[in-house]
Structure 1
């Protein structure tokens, strides 16, 4: 799979990740990494893990979330 953002610029670069929102392939230059809290059901409430997960998004989705 190739990086979608590179292909729109007539460049070819191997994708190393996939955007968690839109599914576009991303190279290292176009991947935005952000922490994401992990929650799970615990009894009648909700439990939050002490460590954050890693969340990868493309530039378009990253800007839309800010």
Structure 2
């Protein structure tokens, strides 16, 4: 699979990750890594894991998720 963002710029690079939100293939230069809290159902409530998971997204989805207009 090729990096979607590189192809949009007429360049070919192998994808090393997939955007969790939109599914675009991403090379190492275009993937955005952010921490994610893991929530699990525990009895009648929700428990959060002490460890953070990785969330890999493209630049477009990363900006949409972290925009101040939320």
TM value normalised by structure 2: 0.92
- Gap regions ≥5 residues in structure 2: none
After superposition, residues 1-66 of structure 1 pair within 5 angstroms as 1-66=1-66
Query: Deviations along 1:10-57, whole A, 9 cap, x unmatched?
Result: 000000000000000000000000000000100001111000000000
**Structure 1 residue 65 displacement after superposition:** 1.1
Q: RMSD of the alignment, in Å?
A: 0.4
Cα distance in 2 between the residues matched to 1:52 and 1:63: 20
How many matched pairs?
Answer: 66
Gap runs ≥5 in structure 1: none
Structure with more of its chain in strand, by fraction = 2
Question: Could you list the runs of 4 or more consecutive aligned residues of structure 1 that deviate by over 2 angstroms after TM superposition?
Answer: none
